[in-house]
Structure 1
Amino acid sequence: MATYNGERYLPEQLESIAQQTLLPDELVVCDDQSSDSTRAVVEDFGQTAPFPVYFHENPQRLHFADNFLEAAARCRGDYVAFCDQDDVWLPEKLERVGAAFDRTGAALVAHQALSFTEGSDREERFQFAHHGILLPDDLFPWHFFFGFACTFRRDLLDVSPSALRPFDVIDPRRRLAHDRWITFLATTRGIVVVLPDELARYRQHDTNESGWMRSGRSAGAAYSAARNRFAYNLAKHLSAARRFIEILEEQVAKQGNADRSDLDRLLDRWRELDEAYRARLAIAEEDTRAGRLKRWGEAMKRGAYRPSVAERPLPMSARELALAFIARPGQRGLAKSMLSQAGYPE
Structure 2
Amino acid sequence: MDKAAVDILLSTFNGEKYLPDLLQSLEAQTFREWKLIIRDDGSTDETISILQKFKNNSGRSVEIIESDANLGPCKSFLTLLKYSEANYVMFCDQDDVWLPHKIQFLLNIAKNEELKYNNKPLLVHSDLIVTDRNNSIISQSFWKYQNINPKRKKLNELLVQNNVTGCSLIINRKLADLVCTSDIGIIMHDWWIAIIAAALGEIIYTNNKTIMYRQHSNNDTGAHLFFSIKHMKTKLINRSLISSVIRTIEQAQIFLHLYSGFLNKQQVELISQYAKLPKVNIFKRILFLFSRKFYKDGLIRNIGFLLAVIFINSPRRRIQSEAKPR
Decide: shared fold, TM above 0.5: yes
Structure 2: gaps of 5 or more residues: 1-9, 115-120, 320-326
User: Contact 1:113 / 1:199 at 8 angstroms: preserved in 2?
Assistant: yes
Cα 1:250–1:58 shift into 2, 3 Å:
farther
Q: Which residue of 1 aligns with 2:175?
A: 156
- Which of residues 231, 243, 260 is equivalent to 1:249? 260
Return the TM-score normalized by structure 2. Answer: 0.76
Query: Is the counterpart of residue 269 in structure 1 residue 285 in structure 2?
Result: no
Deviates more, 1:42-51 or 1:100-109: 42-51
CA offset digits 1:179-208 (Å, max 9, x no partner): 111112222332111112110000001111
Give 1:136 shift: 4.5
Structure 1: gaps of 5 or more residues: 168-174, 253-262, 283-295
Q: What one-letter code is carried by the residue in structure 2 that aligns with 1:108?
A: L
Q: Which residue of 2 aligns with 1:199?
A: 210
Q: Which residue of 2 aligns with 1:293?
A: none
- Which of residues 49, 54, 57 is equivalent to 1:40? 49
Cα 1:148–1:48 shift into 2, 3 Å:
same
User: Contact 1:305 / 1:313 at 8 angstroms: preserved in 2?
Assistant: no
CA offset digits 1:99-157 (Å, max 9, x no partner): 001110161110111001114733302125125xx874695433340111111124434
Give 1:274 shift: 3.0
Query: Is the counterpart of residue 129 in structure 1 residue 155 in structure 2?
Result: no
Cα 1:90–1:30 shift into 2, 3 Å:
same
User: Contact 1:305 / 1:314 at 8 angstroms: preserved in 2?
Assistant: no
Return the TM-score normalized by structure 1. Answer: 0.72
The separation in 1 between residues aligned to 2:111 and 2:198, in whole angstroms, is: 18
The separation in 1 between residues aligned to 2:58 and 2:236, in whole angstroms, is: 52
Cα 1:161–1:180 shift into 2, 3 Å:
same
Q: Which has the higher contact order (CA 8 A, sep 6+)?
A: 2
The separation in 2 between residues aligned to 1:187 and 1:321, in whole angstroms, is: 23
- Secondary structure at the aligned position of 2:92 is classed as coil
Query: Is the counterpart of residue 306 in structure 1 residue 317 in structure 2?
Result: no
The separation in 2 between residues aligned to 1:82 and 1:311, in whole angstroms, is: 25
Larger CA Rg, structure 1 vs 2: 1
Identity %: 20
CA offset digits 1:60-92 (Å, max 9, x no partner): 111111111222221221111100011000000
The separation in 2 between residues aligned to 1:322 and 1:144, in whole angstroms, is: 21
Cα 1:91–1:316 shift into 2, 3 Å:
closer
The separation in 2 between residues aligned to 1:246 and 1:324, in whole angstroms, is: 22
Aligned residues: 296
Cα 1:140–1:218 shift into 2, 3 Å:
closer
